[in-house]
């Protein structure tokens, strides 16, 4: 089997890259180790930056997002019993974010891919990437009970942190990593959200987040110890703790409902440099991971594949590989700004077990600065709604 671009992984990065390349007239094959049902139902991020929304629309994959997604023009910060709304459009010149789950983005992109006949192989396990520095790198994979080989002009690893693609990079590659001493206990609940925008709460007992998946489904999170087992928390205990951490000094109340899913998400920061080796390139979680506090993971993946698609089209149209040669450096500028923002927001709102009373007061001072100084608030709003995709 031959193609121009072999894409490993049918998450949002791989699927969107395939879509952008199709629109530009560049052929690709997508290999996904899981079945379609798994890809379309795994719960992941749900906040789309303004740039991500614009890209999906321009790619012809935004119709359902526009019908069903929830535009949000701000977030609420809660601390010391206070509430402060950050107004995104007023601070960013009109930008906003959209609540639309990654599962729905994947469903939309899969549907478009299959409608148009683009090769998308589910249950196709990539076993190895070979000849990365040659003109025709190859992907060995297993599908339908037999091994096969995909020959490409380029291989793109969108196969996540545990994928095979990163294994072809030389040992001289640099890895930057931080593991946080806490995690998120998350629930999905069949109850209307208790607030019409996301609420980020800093509390002496730990962080809490009120989010949503739809007008009738709430998504909520609690900071817990890193070794927490979700089964150790009863539904009632989760609701009780959410109520404590989200409490305010007014008459706001948290609405409870049936919990349909409960899970624990670890917190880590990770960057692999470079993101290109020969004719093999990384995108999305294969190259970088951020803690979920800043809602950057999916959006960073979109930035990667937009940059990569532009570089591949440029090479085809001009014969110049200049943009491909700078792909890694271009992406990493944006990646490190997202890492910085996600780290800042995480350490601003979470209680580290090693924190002293001094550290706690510094958090409150930082929050006071954001909520009382337009420049500091603008910096948060600009980062949350998204760094330029061409930065």
Positions annotated as catalytic residues are 72, 200, 292, 296, 384
Nearest to 155, CA basis, from 280, 19, 308:
280
Q: How far is CA 41 from the centre of its chain?
A: 16
| Rg, C-alpha atoms of the chain | 21
Q: CB neighbours of 314 closer than 8 A, spacing ≥ 6?
A: 320, 322, 323, 324
Six token digits for residue 197:
């925008």
Q: CB neighbours of 148 closer than 8 A, spacing ≥ 6?
A: 1, 140, 141, 142
Six token digits for residue 101:
């789950």
| 3-state secondary structure (DSSP) of residue 74 | strand
- Please tell me what DSSP assigns to residue 2: B
Q: How far apart are CA 213 and CA 192, in angstroms?
A: 10
Q: How far apart are CA 230 and CA 224, in angstroms?
A: 10
Q: Contact, 122 vs 34, CB < 8 A? A: yes
């Amino acid at each position: 089997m031959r193609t121009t671009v072999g894409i490993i992984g049918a998450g949002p990065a791989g699927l969107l890259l395939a879509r952008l390349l199709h629109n530009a007239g560049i052929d690709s094959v997508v290999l996904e180790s899981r079945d379609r049902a798994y890809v379309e139902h795994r719960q992941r991020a749900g906040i789309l930056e303004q740039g991500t929304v614009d890209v999906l629309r321009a790619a012809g994959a935004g119709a359902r997002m526009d019908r069903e997604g929830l535009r949000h023009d701000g977030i609420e910060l809660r601390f010391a019993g206070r509430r402060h709304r950050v107004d995104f459009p007023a601070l960013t010149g009109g930008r906003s974010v959209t609540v639309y789950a990654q599962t729905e983005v994947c469903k939309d992109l899969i549907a478009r891919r299959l409608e148009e006949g683009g090769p998308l192989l589910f249950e196709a396990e990539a076993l190895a990437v070979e000849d990365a520095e040659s003109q025709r790198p190859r992907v060995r994979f297993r599908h339908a009970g037999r091994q096969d080989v995909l020959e490409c002009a380029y291989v793109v690893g969108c196969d996540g942190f545990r994928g095979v693609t990163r294994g072809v990079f030389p040992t001289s590659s640099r890895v930057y990593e931080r593991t946080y001493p806490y995690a998120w206990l998350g629930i999905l609940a069949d109850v209307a959200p208790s607030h019409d925008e996301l609420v980020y709460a800093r509390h002496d007992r730990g962080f809490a987040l009120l989010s949503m998946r739809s007008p009738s489904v709430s998504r909520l999170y609690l900071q817990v110890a890193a070794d927490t087992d979700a089964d150790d928390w009863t539904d009632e205990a989760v609701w009780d703790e959410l109520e404590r951490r989200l409490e305010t000094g007014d008459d706001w109340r948290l609405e409870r409902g049936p919990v349909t899913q409960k899970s624990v998400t670890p917190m880590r920061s990770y960057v692999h440099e470079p993101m290109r080796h020969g004719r093999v390139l990384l995108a999305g979680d294969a190259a970088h991971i951020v803690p979920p506090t800043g809602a950057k993971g999916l959006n960073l993946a979109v930035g990667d594949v937009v940059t990569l698609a532009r570089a591949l089209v440029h090479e085809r149209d001009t014969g110049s590989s200049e943009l491909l040669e700078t792909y890694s450096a271009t992406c990493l500028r944006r990646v490190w700004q997202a890492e910085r923002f996600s780290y800042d927001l995480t350490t601003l709102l979470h209680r580290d077990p090693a924190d002293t009373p001094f550290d706690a007061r510094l958090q409150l001072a930082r929050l006071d600065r954001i909520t009382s100084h337009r420049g500091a608030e603008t910096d948060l709003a600009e980062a949350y709604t998204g760094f330029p995709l061409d930065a």
